Amino acid sequence: MSDEVYGPERADRLVALLRALAARIQELDRSGRLLDAAPELQKLLGNARSELFHYEVRSTYDTPEVAESRRIVEDAIRELSLDEPDDDEPWRPDKRE
């Protein structure tokens, strides 16, 4: 799997990781050991935080092909901009009047 994109399989693993973390917190809470498990929770939270960061960054990452397509479209829009009328467009009102 490319490290630049966040595919559906990795997203599914993230969801499973978050659910496992939630279940572990609930289990520790029910047994009255929530604060006793601080080191374990720190590790689990760190893993979840790291993976959430990757999800946030990589799920919005543009592949080089997408970035190039976006650049081409933006260039075309700039070239076709109607903000500055040309002299060969007589239907536009003259700003000098």
- Per residue in 2-48, pLDDT (tens digit) is 455 677 888 899 999 999 999 999 999 999 999 999 999 999 999 99
This prediction has a pTM of 0.58
The dihedral through the CA atoms of 66, 72, 75, 77 has a sign that is negative
